[in-house]
């Protein structure tokens, strides 16, 4: 790509709840995908690159007769600015709540997506028969029935803490495993009520895991000088030990530095 004509992001005020978009706006939910292909788009007559799945979404959602204002994370967040990424990801819940409309892009049509769309149309017809305020609840009831499994209905996740959500959704696909943690902070009942754990892309994955462990076990910010944790832990190991996290960390402390760190006892 021609770097001389490349789009350059203007800084936003990270001390506020600022986002890089005016209001009213819609928000797009989609998967980044793992395709290595990148496509050029133009932002204010300047070139930028997006992944294949987003490029398809932009082509499919573009309206020919009027402008459409959409908040899209890959475009509205400067992906080369880790401090801004942490700030904006920390506001993700608010960004989607404040959107006039949330659009979900599932990708090109296939058998599974077509079946889901048929189901959604049936839901919409059924809920449209309900008077006024009950229509939204009809959609919620239908979604709970669809997603119910042996662990209980989806509605239980609406009040779940971060540990529960990590156990259930931690294996979701993500290019950056820090996103597996940070994406859940806005919906975890304990994390969203606290400022102890915030998205931070300026630290490594290992340090992000330590911040998370410190929050889960001690409800405090991670301070390696006061209470060190295993910063070389990979994400697969972290998910594996979650059900017995306190036992694992105690064992690790006893094996490594327990005599110098009695606060673990």
Q: What is the pLDDT of residues 135-152, one digit of tens each?
A: 666 666 666 666 555 444
Extract the tokens encoding 209: 């895991």
Extract the tokens encoding 100: 């006039």
Could you tell me the residue ranges of all domains in the chain? 3-104, 160-264
Tell me, yes or no, if the pTM score tops 0.85.
no
What is residue 21's predicted lDDT score, i.e. its pLDDT? 80
DSSP 262: G
Residue ranges of the chain whose pLDDT lies below 50: 150-155, 258, 261-262, 264-265
What is residue 19's predicted lDDT score, i.e. its pLDDT? 86
What is residue 4's predicted lDDT score, i.e. its pLDDT? 67
Residues in Cβ contact with 222 at an 8 Å cutoff, skipping those fewer than 6 apart: 207, 210, 211, 213, 214, 215, 229
Beta bridge partners of 28: 103
User: Residue 69: enclosing H or E segment and its boundaries?
Assistant: none
Tell me how crowded residue 170 is: count the other CB atoms within 10 A of its CB: 19
- Which letter, b or e, does each residue of 79-97 get, where b requires 16 or more Cβ atoms within 10 Å of its Cβ? eebeebbbbbbbbbeebee
Extract the tokens encoding 203: 């630290």
What is residue 202's predicted lDDT score, i.e. its pLDDT? 96
Give the integer Cα–Cα distance in Å for 204 and 178.
Answer: 8
What is residue 107's predicted lDDT score, i.e. its pLDDT? 83
Give the integer Cα–Cα distance in Å for 33 and 75.
Answer: 15
What is residue 150's predicted lDDT score, i.e. its pLDDT? 43
What is residue 151's predicted lDDT score, i.e. its pLDDT? 45
- Whether the Cβ atoms of residue 107 and residue 31 lie closer than 8 Å to each other: yes
Inter-helix orientation angle 245-256/205-218, to 10°: 110
H helices of the chain, where?
52-61, 73-76, 82-89, 92-98, 111-128, 134-147, 162-169, 177-182, 205-218, 235-241, 245-256
3 state DSSP class of 70? strand
């Amino acid at each position: 790509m021609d770097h001389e004509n490349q789009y350059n992001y203007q800084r936003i005020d990270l001390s506020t709840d600022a986002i890089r978009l005016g209001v009213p706006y819609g928000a797009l939910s989609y998967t980044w995908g793992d395709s290595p292909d990148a496509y050029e788009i133009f932002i204010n007559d300047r070139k930028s690159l997006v992944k294949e799945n987003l490029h398809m979404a932009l082509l499919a959602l573009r309206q020919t007769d009027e402008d459409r204002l959409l908040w899209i994370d890959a475009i509205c967040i400067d992906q080369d600015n880790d401090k801004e990424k942490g700030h904006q990801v920390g506001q993700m819940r608010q960004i989607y709540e404040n959107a006039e409309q949330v659009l979900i892009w599932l990708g090109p049509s296939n058998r599974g997506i077509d079946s889901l769309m048929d189901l959604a149309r049936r839901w919409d017809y059924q809920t449209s028969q309900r008077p006024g305020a009950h229509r939204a609840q009809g959609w919620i009831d239908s979604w709970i029935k669809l997603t119910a499994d042996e662990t209980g209905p989806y509605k239980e996740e609406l009040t779940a803490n971060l540990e529960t959500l990590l156990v259930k959704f931690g294996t979701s696909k993500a290019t950056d495993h820090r996103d597996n943690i940070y994406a859940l902070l806005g919906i975890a009942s304990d994390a969203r009520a606290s400022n102890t754990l915030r998205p931070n892309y300026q630290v490594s994955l290992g340090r992000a895991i330590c911040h998370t462990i410190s929050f889960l076990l001690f409800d405090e910010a991670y301070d390696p000088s006061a209470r060190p944790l295993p910063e070389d832990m990979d994400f697969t190991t972290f998910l594996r030990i979650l059900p017995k996290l306190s036992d694992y960390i105690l064992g690790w402390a006893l094996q490594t530095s327990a005599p110098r760190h009695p606060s673990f006892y």
